[in-house]
Structure 1
Amino acid sequence: MSFALLFSGQGTQHPAMLPWLAHDDRVRDTCARLGIDDWRSALADPAWAELNDHAQTLLTGLALAAWDQLAPFVPPPAAVAGYSVGELAAFSVAGVIAPDTAAALARLRARAMDRCAARVPGGLLSVSGLSEPGLAQLRAEAGAELAIRNGSANVIVGGPLAALDTAERIAMAAGAQCKRLRVHVASHTSWMQEAADSFSHALAAVPFRAPRIALFSNAADRIRNADSARAALAGQIAQTVRWDECMENVMARQVHCVLEIGPGQALVRMWNQRCPTVPARACDDFRSAAAVAAWLNSHAEP
């Protein structure tokens, strides 16, 4: 059997996500870290849900809880990758860091990014429908940077709020489709370099191991040892997320299906557009852990 796990990033979290997730010890631990009793009720408040600290801590804890509840019913994945903060869960599932460590690091990561954002408020803007030269011109004129590369015509730019306003105006005038993301920091751009440096310093004291599963990074292709894992986790905070390359790397493992763990179906949609011959589903599509496991077990056979 051969399947890949993709762990979602933040921005699409919602109260009804992971409808089958049981309130187990890891979910309770995640709620305790956030000082809440019920994470679904907390997510019903958009102001609470969009805070960087809340989103990154919650999504990392829930992703790990979801995998804990699925893992007894399926074999180990053949490949793992995470989108932005989803890398913390991915690195944990691959055996690089302990689950409790990943949960604690999510809060450190978020707070380091928030300190940068307090000095230079910023965000992210999804842009699709522009050519490569058009995107390059947009970034140059607006003073924005390429934050995430999902495909040649599907990117996310980041930067200070004024730069995003200008980028959105230029893109709309050129006929592109734009959407502001529910992320209030200029993730994966040079405006987060101080956060990347701070996180790197924190990671130096954290036990890391070589991955037990093929693990692909947003910033460093395949992760093969502890040192490259540390560098990749810190570096991606201020570097472009090369998600298009992550998908190609996972596809090269010749997996038979892909499962997205996290809120929504954003990664599944991108996968199905790029790799339509390999079926992909999201955990949000199912009503029980047993149904997720049944789908994986039926599709992961050669």
Structure 2
Amino acid sequence: MTLAILCSGQGRQHREMFALTGDAPEAERLFAHAATLLGGGDPREFVRREPDEALHRNRAGQILCTLQALAAMAALGDAIPRGAIIAGYSVGEVAAWGVGGLFDAILTLDLVARRAEAMDAATHAGDGLIFVRGLTREQAGRLCERHGAAIAIVNPGDAFVIGGSREALNQIAADAGAMHGARIVALPVEVASHTQRLAGASVAFRETLNMAPVSFPSRNGARILSGIDAAPVVSRETGLDKLAAQISQTVQWADCLQACVEAGATGFLELGPGHALSGMAAEIAPTLPARSLDDFRSLQGIRSWLMRRLGS
């Protein structure tokens, strides 16, 4: 089995997101460090007790979702086969570098905090994202051009995340509804990620990355994909350039999933939170098994699933 690991972006945070990883001793140091980035609050208690608004603030959301991926890898590392393909959705791409061993896990948490801060500093009040399904790429692009927004993420099945000002997004939502878009949803994200509105954040984050130690190539043979073109990371400098550029360029997520299949993936495991990425993987490759951590009741259940798949 060639496993494709999918690292989730923010938006699906929930109260029980650390139910499987929260007690894993291998992940304790990660939770402790994340607490220092969240004002001293234990992330496990943070997600249970803080209001939904706090869970979905840009900085907290990026830290929590990255922590979930890193904690899962720490707890399951010995069960993950060498040579995994790793792709990350939005901030999940930074997590993918940590999961794949290019960044140290603690450093990865620090980097996503700096990334979020750069994005917040570059954000215009009222910016955000909406999800639109049921339009063609050309139709979505024309709506964005008309209203001064941009396609932020291209998902499988004529599904797009669009970023811009709230006024522009409201106009696009109305027009998409009139064009019989199948689903239109405002996302709980406060920045216009992956659009040129955040060009300044890309510059700032690239400066941060200049100082980041990178272990390249990955010691576990992992292949990490770049979100903006679905190409594997083949060098430190080019990889870091793309990782920073991704903040203000369209993420080609459908291409990333297809690249996993073309690279020989025979199964997908989403580290969560949520099931969105494994659902998209099942859509693009319906004959391949695709699961999320949130599908399981225990880490042992995930290990058993991996063992069965590895033995098949």
| Bin for the TM-score computed over the shorter chain | over 0.9
Q: Does 1:258 align with 2:264?
A: no
User: 1:280-299, CA deviations, whole angstroms, 9 ceiling, x for partnerless residues?
Assistant: 00001111111111111211
Q: Does 1:13 align with 2:18?
A: no
Alpha-carbon distance, 1:211 to partner: 3.5
1:2-151 maps to which residues of 2 (within 5 A)?
Answer: 2-23=2-23, 24-44=28-48, 45-117=51-123, 119-151=124-156
Q: 1:214 aligns with which of 210, 223, 228?
A: 223
Q: Is the 8 A contact 2:17 2:68 kept in 1?
A: no
Q: Is the 8 A contact 2:156 2:283 kept in 1?
A: no
- Partners of 1:116 and 1:59 lie apart in 2 by 21
Q: Is the 8 A contact 2:141 2:150 kept in 1?
A: no
- Partners of 1:38 and 1:207 lie apart in 2 by 27
2:179 equivalent in structure 1: 174
Q: Is the 8 A contact 1:94 1:211 kept in 2?
A: no
- Partners of 2:117 and 2:80 lie apart in 1 by 35
Alpha-carbon distance, 1:236 to partner: 0.2
Alpha-carbon distance, 1:158 to partner: 0.4
Moved more, 154-163 or 28-37: 28-37
1:195-214 maps to which residues of 2 (within 5 A)?
Answer: 195-212=201-218, 213-214=222-223
- Partners of 1:286 and 1:151 lie apart in 2 by 25
User: 1:114-138, CA deviations, whole angstroms, 9 ceiling, x for partnerless residues?
Assistant: 0111x35311110001123321221
Aligned-pair identity (%):
34
- Kindly report structure 1 stretches of 4+ aligned residues shifted beyond 4 Å: none
Q: TM-score, normalised by structure 2?
A: 0.92
- Partners of 1:162 and 1:96 lie apart in 2 by 40
Change over 3 Å in CA distance of 1:77–1:70 after alignment to 2: farther
2:257 equivalent in structure 1: 247
Moved more, 95-104 or 132-141: 132-141
Moved more, 257-266 or 71-80: 71-80
1:217-296 maps to which residues of 2 (within 5 A)?
Answer: 217-220=226-229, 221-296=231-306
RMSD across aligned positions (CA): 1.5
Q: Is the 8 A contact 1:208 1:230 kept in 2?
A: no
Partner-residue secondary structure (3-state), 1:292: helix
Partner-residue secondary structure (3-state), 1:217: coil
Q: Is the 8 A contact 2:79 2:306 kept in 1?
A: no
Q: TM-score, normalised by structure 1?
A: 0.95
Moved more, 39-48 or 79-88: 39-48
Partner-residue secondary structure (3-state), 2:12: coil
Question: What is the aligned residue count?
Answer: 301
- Partners of 1:133 and 1:65 lie apart in 2 by 39
User: 1:237-284, CA deviations, whole angstroms, 9 ceiling, x for partnerless residues?
Assistant: 000000011101111121221100021100011110110111100001
Q: Is the 8 A contact 2:69 2:99 kept in 1?
A: no
